[in-house]
């Protein structure tokens, strides 16, 4: 810890943001990049990326992560320990994948989605922007933007 948000304007360094909450990560990124700082991509050496994977600036890829072919991750995506991202997945800017999450092939996570620990998103599902998927949930159908879903199968919290 080197100070509060204001110190970011004076740093002469590349940065990444290890905060899981997507909206906070987006705010800090906009502040730092607005002061001319460049995001760094950090990838643990014990992670595995197959061919044609695209990682956006500022991505943080933790130990044990596996990302399969033709997946695309946006700006400042945070993929926590032992998460799996299937082939042809599209992960939007500032999305957060907690430990042990599974995103199957062809899934789309729109910007600022948050997946709780152990959540599973089945093939072809779209999770809308700013949605939250609870820990251990199994998502079998599309999730509306801003929704909070929990359970097996996942259902919106009312």
Residues with a catalytic annotation lie at 87
Beta bridge partners of 60: 42, 78
Q: Which long-range contacts (CB under 8 A, 24 or more apart) does 74-82 make?
A: 74/111, 75/29, 75/39, 76/16, 76/17, 76/25, 76/26, 76/29, 76/39, 78/17, 78/18, 78/19, 78/20, 78/25, 80/20
**Cβ pair 73, 57 in contact under 8 A:** no
Residue for token pair 């299937």? 86
**Cβ pair 24, 42 in contact under 8 A:** no
| C-alpha–C-alpha distance, residues 150 and 126, integer Å | 16
Half-sphere exposure of 47 (CA within 13 A, CB side): 21
């Amino acid at each position: 810890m080197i100070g509060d948000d204001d110190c970011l304007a004076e740093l002469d360094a590349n940065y990444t943001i290890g905060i899981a909450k997507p909206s906070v990560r987006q705010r800090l990124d906009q502040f730092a990049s607005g002061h001319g700082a460049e995001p760094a991509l950090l990838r643990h050496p014990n992670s595995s990326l197959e061919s044609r994977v695209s990682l956006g600036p500022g991505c943080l890829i933790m130990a044990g992560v596996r990302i399969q072919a033709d997946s695309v991750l946006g700006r400042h995506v945070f993929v926590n320990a032992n998460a799996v991202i299937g082939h042809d997945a599209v992960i939007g800017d500032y999305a957060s994948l907690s430990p042990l999450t599974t995103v199957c092939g062809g899934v789309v996570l729109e910007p600022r989605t948050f997946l709780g620990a152990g959540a599973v998103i089945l093939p072809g599902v779209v999770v809308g922007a700013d949605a939250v998927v609870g820990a251990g949930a199994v998502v079998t159908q599309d999730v509306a933007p801003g929704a909070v879903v929990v359970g097996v199968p996942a259902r919106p919290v009312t």
